[in-house]
Amino acid sequence: QVRLVESGGGLVQPGGSLRLSCAASGSIGTMFVMAWHRQPPGKRRELVASITNAGRTNYPDSVKGRFTVSRDAAKNTVYLQMNSLKPEDTAVYYCAAATRWFVPPYDYWGQGTQVTVSS
């Protein structure tokens, strides 16, 4: 069993930056894919970034060039660096992990961290 705990959310002004962290209770080396999703108010959850254990990353067009996902296996932590934030990035951000190459579904989810982009 792997427990994921997100941190780093908060209130930021448009154009600002935040770095989210996802700390895993177990080794993320056994996870084939780690990902960040978000759920804006009143909308469905959506993928914002994923990274494989080989370091391959994937982003939707809405965040490409602004968000960067990375993983530190030694610290069992995955990060999401978010730059040039926009009000439409406001959402609860969730970390997820999968023990398979083909996703979804993901096997483990964190509890989420709120990101609010507002002036």
Q: What is the pLDDT of residue 62?
A: 96
Rounded to the nearest angstrom, the gap between the alpha carbon of residue 48 and the centroid of all alpha carbons in its chain is 7
For the sheet containing 77-82, what is the strand order?
Answer: 4-7, 18-24, 77-82, 67-72
What pLDDT score does 67 carry? 98
- In angstroms, how far is the first alpha carbon of the chain from the final one? 40
What is the chain's pLDDT, residue by residue, as a tens digit (119 residues)?
Answer: 889 999 999 999 999 999 999 999 877 778 899 999 999 999 999 999 999 989 999 999 999 999 999 999 889 999 999 999 999 999 999 999 999 888 899 999 999 999 999 99
Largest CA distance in the chain: 41
Token match 């609860």: residue?
92
